Amino acid sequence: GVIVEGTSALNTAALTGESLPRDVQTGDEVISGCVNMTGLLKVRTTKEFGESTVSKILDLVENSSMKKARAENFITRFARVYTPAVCYGALALAFVPPVVLLLMGQPARFGDWIYRALTFLVISCPCALVISIPLSFFGGIGGASKHGILVKGSNYLEALARAGIVVFDKTGTLTRGTFEVTVIHPQQLSEQELLELAALAEHFSTHPISLSIQAACRPAPDPARVTDVKEIAGRGVQAVVDGRTVLAGNQKLMDQFQISFEDRCRHMGTIIHVAVDGEYAGHIVISDQPKPEAAQALSDLKAAGVRRTVMLTGDAQSAAEGVARELGLDEFHAELLPGDKVDQVERLLAQKQPKENLVFVGDGINDAPVLSRADIGVAMGALGSDAAIEAADIVLMDDDLSKLAQAVRIARKTLSIVRQNIVFALAVKGLVLVLSALGYVGMWWAVFADVGVSVLAILNASRMLRAK
């Protein structure tokens, strides 16, 4: 809709991922899913529910999930050929050789050939494959869950083993999603004095920026020192602290009161300027900090074989650039809406190498369509939205990014054990089948080729339950 009356700050993090609230006033457009934080707004609705942003996100989730291919289970593909082949082979072994011998005028012992055919059937029973392959995946899923990694199905674990491109959301995924004071640049005051004046001026505000300044000022100053507080919409606050007039806000506030200063700050983030009695006193930089484990997690992913790391965010270009540079990402795209993120993922999917999968990691409502469209969607379980967790294929229950590289390693180890079991079972069965058909081995070898191989394959699969 369109605002017809009032000014306020809107929290758009759920839709765009932008951690900084957006200031709006009369005449501005607003979209569904934003949270009104500071003022009263009257909005004229311009679209019906079916055309709303939230409705479009749901539509994107449904359509995106329909596009995702599901790999057919190996056992189903294998059994389609293997089962008829061994049944017809056993039938042929029971009757073709004795009939041929009869036609050649030699004695044909039907009992011996039927016994060989039954031995052949016992050997060919695919128990080792039918039991050990699902058990390997269940073991991988169980081993991952012990480390707080919830995998919703064995096909997702198999797909994760081929991860080549990993795409991240920024706010709440690579960063903490909360504001913190990162830099204090005073002029003619100490850092503590500048921070204390700003915290007192902002004391009665519930804006996230104000709360972060108050949280950084320790010990907390006495609010009784503050009088005549006035909030100036979209610009900042004016207050009297210890008898001195203090201004704290953005550059528009400084321009309004004709306070001149030299803008030399090169730090990424939101800058809060402070003036005392008409004189510029310095500025404070507030930014959303990367998670402590983010850089190491990206490095671990590269070491695990991930070819490319990308960040997609609805946050501002400058904030995204700073995070991408600090964490060493290969590529980033900023100021994206949910539909734009899906478009970027479609582009990246088209750039995949053969047998390579794209993984998307996110936590917000705005990430749900992309989580659904990616080959593998990974959601943050502790702080992530219900929509993101529902759309994701894998959930990191404690929001620890380092678990992602661990999940890739577990997936690859699981697939390695599955391949070992397949090769071992087929090799042993193939060898004993040939020897059985030629009459060199009997039923005891058949039992080993069936039950013995199954037991060994199961023991090998159970290693995944102890994944480290």
Reply yes or no on whether 169 is catalytic: yes
Distance of CA 96 to the CA centre of its chain: 58
Tell me which residue of 400, 372, 388 sits closest to 68, measured CA to CA. Answer: 372
Structure tokens, 77: 């593909």
- Contact call for residues 361 and 168 (beta carbons, < 8 A): yes
How close are the terminal C-alpha atoms of the chain, in Å? 52
Residues found in the chain = 468
Pairing between β-strand 357-362 and β-strand 376-380 as defined by DSSP bridges: parallel
**Beta partners for 287?**
180
Q: In the Cβ-directed half-sphere of 411, how many Cα atoms lie within 13 Å?
A: 27
Q: Counting Cβ atoms within 10 Å, is residue 77 exposed (0-12), middle (13-18) or buried (19+)?
A: exposed
Amino acid at 335: E
State the DSSP string of 205-216: --SHHHHHHHHH
| Three-class secondary structure of residue 262 per DSSP | coil
Tokens 């369509």, residue located: 369
Amino acid at 145: S
Q: How far apart are CA 310 and CA 249, in angstroms?
A: 34
Q: How far apart are CA 459 and CA 136, in angstroms?
A: 10
Which residue in 23, 59, 169, 242 is the catalytic one? 169
Amino acid at 97: P
Q: Would you tell me how many other CB atoms lie within 10 Å of the CB of residue 348?
A: 19
Tell me which residue of 366, 307, 308 sits closest to 341, measured CA to CA. Answer: 366
Tell me which residue of 445, 463, 464, 468 sits closest to 123, measured CA to CA. Answer: 445
Q: What angle do CA 5, 339, 172 make, to 5 degrees?
A: 80
Q: How far apart are CA 435 and CA 303, in angstroms?
A: 45
- Contact call for residues 238 and 247 (beta carbons, < 8 A): yes
Active-site residues, by number, are: 169
